Amino acid sequence: MTAPKGNALPPFKNEPYADFREASNRKAMEEALAAVRADFGRERQLLIDGRYQRAAATFQSLNPSKPSEVIATHQKASAEQAAAAVEAADAYFAVWKKAPIADRAGMLLRLAAIVRNRKFEFDAWLVFEAGKSWPEAEADVCEAIDFCEYYARRALLLASPDPLPQLPGEKDEMRYIPLGAGVVIPPWNFPLAIMLGMTTAALVTGNTVVLKPSSDTPTIGSKFVEAVLEAGFPPKCINFVTGSGAEVGDTLVAHPKTRFVSFTGSKEVGLRINELAAQPRPGQLWIKRVVAEMGGKDAIIVDSEADVDAAAQGVLVSAFGYQGQKCSACSRAIVDEKVYDEFLEKLKAKAEALTVGPASDPANYMGPVINQRARQSILDYIEVGKSEGRLICGGSEASGEGYFIQPTVIADVDRGARIFREEIFGPVLAVTKARDFDHALELANDSEYGLTGAVYSHNAQKLEKARDEFHVGNLYLNRKCTGAMVGSHPFGGFNMSGTDSKAGGPDYLLQFVQAKSIGELAG
C-alpha cells in the first residue's frame, strides 16, 4: 500500500472509542477475551535479522489479575543476541532508508487498518497481560491507531519541507534524513500505544529498530511485531528482543552502532540510559540521541472558585484510572482551604464506591497493579503515608488472587512528605491544603518533575496565571490531567519528566531525523 502524495489524505481525526454499554461491542469483547485466553501458554521467539530464534533461557509473562495464569513463555535473550540485533539493524539501514517515504507511510496506514480490524483482540491482550479495564484497554488501542494515522501524515509533510529563501545564483534546500539503527524501550503501562508510537515514528522516517519490550508485557510486543510484518514492513527493519533490562538493555544502549535510544519509563532507568548513551565506544561515529520520557508527580489544583463536584470527579479518574499507573496520573491534589473539607467529603464518597477486581470483569473499575514487586512498593508507600497524613479511605490490599490494592486517599499531607514528593505509581493520592491560589501554584511547582497538571477554577485570571506559571509539559484546565489525545495534546514533560519530545504532536518525528542543508551553484 502506497500513501497518497502531499495533502491527498483526509484530515487526521482520532479513532472513536467502542462503547461497551452496547450489546454488540460487549459480545465482541467477551468473544475476544475467550479467544485470547485460548492462546495462552505459547512460547514466543525473538526476531533478529529477519529470522525467528530462541535463547538459552526463558521467562514467563503472568496475568496480574491471576498470577497463577501464564500468558506466554518468552526468550531471555543473551547479550550476544542483543548485540547481533543491533548489528543486523545497522546493516539493513542502508536498504530501508532508501524506501520511498510514500511507501513507508502506506505501510503505517495499513498497520492502522490491521489494528483497527483486530481492536477487540488487542483490547483483550491488554486486559490479561497489563491488567487494564475494558475502557482503559480500548483507549490504549485507539491511541495506537491514532499514532499510525498521525505519523503517516506527518512523515509525508516532513518529506516536503517548506522551501528555504534562495541565495541569488543558488538552488538551496533542506532535507530530513533518518538517523540509523535505533533502540526502542517502551513501558508496560501503555504496552501497545506507546510502543507502537515510538517504533513507528522511527520506522516511517527511515530508521531501523531494535525493539525491547517490558518484561511485564512482552506478549503484546510480540503481537505488535506480527502486525507490523503483516502490514508489509520488511522483517529486517525491526528486530524483537526480550529479556533482562540490566543485561540486554545495557548492551543495546551501549553498542557503538546504536544511533539513538527512544525510552519511556522510570526516572532512574531513564537517567541510566542517558548516562550510558553519553559514553562514546570504540568505533562509534556519533553522539547518540536519547529521547527519554520518564516519570511524574502530577498535581491537580482545586481553587476556591472551582466546581467542586467536577473537581472531585476529575481528581478521582486521574488518580485511580488504570490503578494510578500512568505517568500522567494525579498523585497530588492541592486544594484551597476554603473548599478543602467539602472536596475531601465528595472525593471520599466517590473513591469508596470504586470496585476493584480482575480486569476481565467489566464490573470492576480498577484492576491489579502490574506485579508483586509493584504491589509491595505501593503498600510500603501507603504505610509511610499513614504516618505523614490522615488516611481518608483505602490503605491496604484488596481481596482476590491478583495484585489488587484499594484506592487510597491520604489527606493533610505536607510538602516535605515523601508521598508528596516521590513517584509511587499506584492508586495513592496525597491531598494538601493551600492558603490560596498562589500558594497552590507554588506547591504544585514544588517538584523535580513537570509532566502533567490541571487546574479547576472559574476565575479566568487564575487560569491565565496557570498557563504562564504552572511548569508542566501538559496543562489541563477544568478537566482531568490524564487522557492526552494524539494531535490535540502533544505529550511530554519538563525537568525530570524527560526530554519533552511531545509524542503525538507535529514536532515528534524530528526526534528521529537529522537536517541536511544543500546549496547548489546555479549553472
Quick: pLDDT tens for 455-474.
Answer: 999 999 999 999 999 999 99
Residue 516 three-state SS: strand
Task: Render pLDDT for 358-367 as a digit per residue (tens, 0 to 9).
Answer: 999 999 999 9
In the chain, what percentage of residues exceed pLDDT 70? 99
34: left (phi over 0), alpha (psi -120 to 50) or beta: alpha
Q: In the annotation, is 293 catalytic?
A: yes
List pLDDT tens digits, range 307-347: 999 999 999 999 999 999 999 999 999 999 999 999 999 99
Question: What pLDDT band is residue 3 in, cutting at 50, 70 and 90?
Answer: low
Give me the mean pLDDT over the 301-311 stretch: 98
What's the chain's length in residues?
523
Beta pairing, strands 452-456 & 474-477: parallel
Predicted structure pTM score: 0.97
pLDDT of residue 278: 97
pLDDT at site 39: 97
Identified catalytic residue from 142, 148, 327, 330: 327
Burial, 56: exposed, middle or buried (Cβ in 10 Å; 0-12, 13-18, 19+)?
exposed
Helix (H, G, I), strand (E, B) or coil at 29: helix
Q: Is 294 helix (H, G, I), strand (E, B) or coil?
A: coil
User: Residue 377 — very low, low, confident or very high, per pLDDT cuts 50/70/90?
Assistant: very high
Confidence of residue 7 (pLDDT cuts 50, 70, 90): low
Q: How far is CA 28 from CA 34, 120, 318, 457, in A?
A: 10, 7, 28, 41
Share of the chain above pLDDT 90, in %: 97
Domains, in order of start, for the chain: 23-294+501-515 (3.40.605.10), 298-485 (3.40.309.10)
Cα(281)–Cα(284) distance, integer angstroms? 5
Q: Which tens digits make up the pLDDT trace of 191-220?
A: 999 999 999 999 999 999 999 999 999 999
Q: Cell 490503578 belongs to which residue?
A: 323
Average pLDDT of the chain is 97
Q: Each residue of 338-376: pLDDT tens digit? A: 999 999 999 999 999 999 999 999 999 999 999 999 999
pLDDT for residue 4: 57
CA angle 261, 499, 195 (to 5 degrees): 50
User: For residue range 107-165, what is the model confidence (pLDDT) as tens digits?
Assistant: 999 999 999 999 999 999 999 999 999 999 999 999 999 999 999 999 999 999 999 99
Instruction: Report the pLDDT value the prediction gives residue 2, as an integer from 0 to 100.
Output: 62
Predicted confidence at residue 421, as pLDDT, reads 98
Beta carbons within 8 Å of 9's beta carbon, 6+ residues apart: 3, 152, 153, 156
Question: Is 327 annotated as catalytic?
Answer: yes
- Phi and psi angles of residue 72, each rounded to the nearest 5 degrees, phi first: -165, 165
- Say which of 293, 388, 423, 481 is annotated catalytic: 293
Mean pLDDT of 407-417: 98
Cell of 101: 517515504
H helices present in 213-256, as ranges: 218-230, 250-254
d(CA 168, CA 170): 6
Whole-number Cα distances in Å, 448 to 148, 438, 444, 484: 32, 19, 11, 21
Q: Is the pLDDT of residue 6 over 80?
A: no
Summarize pLDDT for 468-521 with one digit per residue, the tens: 999 999 999 999 999 999 999 999 999 999 999 999 999 999 999 999 999 999
- The rounded distance, in Å, linking the Cα atoms of 109 and 149 is 6
Cα torsion angle, 120, 103, 87, 185, sign = negative
Q: For 248-282, what is each residue's pLDDT tens digit?
A: 999 999 999 999 999 999 999 999 999 999 999 99
